[in-house]
Structure 1
Amino acid sequence: MSKQRGGRNGPTDRRSFLTAAGATAAAFGLAGCIAGGSGVGSGGSTETPVEDGMDTEGNGGDTTTTSSGTDLEDSMTIFHAGSLAPPFSEAEPMFEEEYGVDVTREAQGSVASTQKITQQGRSADVLGTSDFRLVRDRVLPEFGDWYAIFTTNSMSIQYREDSPGADEISAGNWWEILARDGITIGHSDPAVDPGGYRAVMTQQLGAEEFEGERLYDDATYRQLRENSVVPTGTETNLEAQLESGELDYVFYYQSISASSGLPYVDLQPEVDLSRATSAYAEHYAKAEVETGSGTFTGAPIAYGITAPSVAESPAAGAKWVEYFATDPGRSVLEELGLVPVDPIVVPAGSEDAVPENVMSVASAQETLGPLEL
């Protein structure tokens, strides 16, 4: 059973991030909006991690009529963030059985997943990213017409029972442990995965003042960066590299840490990117990470999902989005440590482009708390 240290900000507490969209203004304290820049098979297991540049055949063909009378294509392809692999994997067989659609998924970093569509010319019926700004800024308008924000997360630190300093680490001293000589900290590649650039942001924010205090000084931040590495492989390999001893600690999403079976530390809200208030968003925006794929600015974590305009099975794609906007999908998200947006939120400016079945379970907004849509 996993051991949690200093759990200040678990899934229940993070529910304050997102409440019913009808009460958005009151819940989020809209004291001005901050626009974060982003620069940004069938039957069995069908998740297919692939490297950039690989290609697969598109799906299409026959349609299936659901009990509601909706005609769906018989197969669909989903590109998605690695941190969405657990809920999407859990939902896949239930979705396939209910709607008669064979689902093929490819899990990779959200930047890389987006680039499959925008740079490699590939088709997907659903794109799910851990940073909605990638869809807003890189997919629309050329490769899509709309998107929805459907869930959120926070940053945490995973480790092993025998990691150096494991018997000492807590929410109140994690930076002291991780800054020690000989410690190896891992995170995914910031150029291809928001989990990577958010790991760097978390470290940056600890050295920035919030309400007159900061967790540590600049020298500690520099040592954290000195101890940090981007290991080989994709974001989905971090846990295996931690377990093997290649890494001592890993910065990763709380949903992954909470369901991994490994011990973990929940971080302070001033560094974990979980709070969607104007004060926290302004603080998060102090963090900035330059990568080969763009410059990314800190903001509260919010996941985006869309059925791109290049979809070959658009009705199936829209049905998948609807699924995660209703009880079956929301239950899966909650069980696996994410906090669903209820109802999901779509930008008011693209409301007319949203499929009717998605719009029926969504709320159109200009902003979501401090996030500009």
Structure 2
Amino acid sequence: MSLKKNALPIAVVLILVLGTGVYSYINTEPPEEEEIVLKAFHAGSLTGPLEEVEARFEADYPNVDVQLEPAGSVQCVQKVTEIGELADVVASADYSLIPNIMMPNYADWYIVFAKNEMTLAYSETSRYADEINEENWYEILQRPDVKWGFSNPNLDPCGYRTPMVIQLAEAEYGDDSLFESLVSDYCGITVSEVDGVYIIDSSMEDLAPDTDKISIRDKSVELISLVESGGLDYAFEYSSVAKQHGMMYLDLPASIDLSELAYADTYSTVKVEKISGTSTGKPIVYGVTVPSNAFHPEYGALFIQYMIDDTGDSVFTELGQPPINPAMVDNLDAAPESLIPFISEQD
């Protein structure tokens, strides 16, 4: 008798439970993908190609908001190592900043992936634009009515590469007064020679430029608008930056433009002392890593994959930054597994 009395309530409960479960299953939407903010600190000269990479990446991963933060490469690295900011990707116009400053505490590996060269950018309205060439550019920069610029050596690799180029030009053109007449006479940067190596000192907080003659900005790309507006006649830039902005530019001799491995020994005869340390002249090679304290390291590695795969290589080629193919890693064992098919280990 008790079984019959309890049977109905039990059946009703089962129906309600099962019915609720079925209703819930049918009407529950699948959970949305987690929204990710991916931060990339990068050299200003990488802005063009990385914007292309960003667009492609976000199209494939709509849940990821890529936030590109351009700055001088030294600043990019120091934001991680000194200020304590978090980034998922750090890309530098001088690969050596990663092993020299970030490793071992903030990075375990790095990849070299692209090259560049120094050039002198100008516009159609620049003074003596119709005269300047590979043989006389340094003479034109010395003319009293010409104003030119470069970026801060303490913040930006293009900035410390500019005095390297000018010092190397002394030997190329047989004029040992070039550095003084172009640089030291108009700011606090000096040069001295020790056993055949030229030591350029820019390790002061205030470079004290004579702004009637030269302009020194935090990033080299900041000089582009000054040239375009007529505020400057000439600016030292990477050739890729000049191309991407539709600037006129002068191809400098390979012996001074920091582009060729064949001239590595020549480039190494100049060094620049900066607030953060000393940089030795060498061919321009870009480096990238995922910081060891990255918030989203897997997405950081995936973004780098988009930089160095075949499509990424095409973007860099089109925008004037020859890719290194395959990209080279310093430590294959430490690199993310997802990047292994796209990289080779350095010799």
User: TM-score normalized by structure 2?
Assistant: 0.80
Counterpart residue number, 1:176: 139
Find out whether 1:293 has 2:251 as its counterpart.
Answer: no
Structure 1 residues 316 and 152, CA gap change in structure 2 (3 angstroms): same
Structure 1 residues 221 and 132, CA gap change in structure 2 (3 angstroms): same
- Identify which of 251, 254, 264 aligns with 2:236: 251
Counterpart residue number, 2:303: 320
SS at match of 1:120: coil
- The alpha carbon displacement at 1:245 in A equals 2.2
Find out whether 1:304 has 2:287 as its counterpart.
Answer: yes
- Alignment map for 1:201-350 (pairs within 5 Å): 201-208=164-171, 214-225=172-183, 226=185, 229-277=214-262, 280-347=263-330, 350=331
- The alpha carbon displacement at 1:236 in A equals 2.8
Q: Distance in 1 between matches of 2:217 and 2:91?
A: 23
Counterpart residue number, 2:207: none
Counterpart residue number, 1:35: none
- The alpha carbon displacement at 1:293 in A equals 2.2
- Identify which of 132, 141, 151 aligns with 2:114: 151
Find out whether 1:109 has 2:94 as its counterpart.
Answer: no
Deviation digits for residues 294-335 of structure 1 (CA, Å, limit 9, x no counterpart): 221100000000011010010110011111111111111111
Find out whether 1:351 has 2:336 as its counterpart.
Answer: no
Deviation larger for 250-259 or 219-228: 219-228
Residues 130 and 304, structure 1, Cα contact 8 Å, conserved in 2: yes
Structure 1 residues 338 and 232, CA gap change in structure 2 (3 angstroms): closer
- The alpha carbon displacement at 1:291 in A equals 2.0
- The alpha carbon displacement at 1:182 in A equals 2.9
Larger RCO, structures 1/2 (Cα 8 Å, 6+ apart): 1
Q: Distance in 2 between matches of 1:73 and 1:293?
A: 37
Counterpart residue number, 2:50: 88
- Identify which of 164, 178, 186 aligns with 2:149: 186
- Identify which of 40, 48, 52 aligns with 1:78: 40
User: TM-score normalized by structure 1?
Assistant: 0.74
Residues 73 and 315, structure 1, Cα contact 8 Å, conserved in 2: no
Residues 325 and 344, structure 1, Cα contact 8 Å, conserved in 2: yes
Q: Distance in 2 between matches of 1:234 and 1:339?
A: 21
Structure 1 residues 232 and 239, CA gap change in structure 2 (3 angstroms): same
Q: Distance in 2 between matches of 1:233 and 1:302?
A: 20
Structure 1 residues 297 and 117, CA gap change in structure 2 (3 angstroms): same
Q: Distance in 1 between matches of 2:91 and 2:110?
A: 10
Q: What amino acid is the match of 1:94? A: R
Tell me the percent identity: 41
Q: What amino acid is the match of 2:70? A: A
- The alpha carbon displacement at 1:221 in A equals 2.8
Deviation digits for residues 186-228 of structure 1 (CA, Å, limit 9, x no counterpart): 00100000010011111111113xxxxx224122332221466
Q: What amino acid is the match of 1:153? A: N
Deviation larger for 103-112 or 287-296: 287-296
Deviation larger for 254-263 or 301-310: 254-263
Q: Distance in 2 between matches of 1:285 and 1:203?
A: 14
Q: Distance in 1 between matches of 2:243 and 2:287?
A: 22
Find out whether 1:162 has 2:129 as its counterpart.
Answer: no
Deviation digits for residues 51-108 of structure 1 (CA, Å, limit 9, x no counterpart): xxxxxxxxxxx995xxxxxxx9722100000000010112211110112321011100
Q: What amino acid is the match of 1:223? A: S
Deviation digits for residues 237-281 of structure 1 (CA, Å, limit 9, x no counterpart): 11011122221110000001122222110111011000013xx11
Q: Distance in 1 between matches of 2:56 and 2:343?
A: 22
Q: How many residues align?
A: 289
Q: What amino acid is the match of 1:136? A: P
Q: Flag structure 2 segments of 5+ consecutive residues without an equivalent.
A: 1-30, 187-212
SS at match of 1:162: coil
Structure 1 residues 290 and 233, CA gap change in structure 2 (3 angstroms): closer
Q: What amino acid is the match of 1:249? A: Y
Q: Flag structure 1 segments of 5+ consecutive residues without an equivalent.
A: 1-61, 65-71, 209-213, 367-373
Question: What is the aligned-residue RMSD (CA, Å)?
Answer: 1.7
Larger Rg over CA atoms: 2
- Identify which of 331, 343, 346 aligns with 1:362: 343
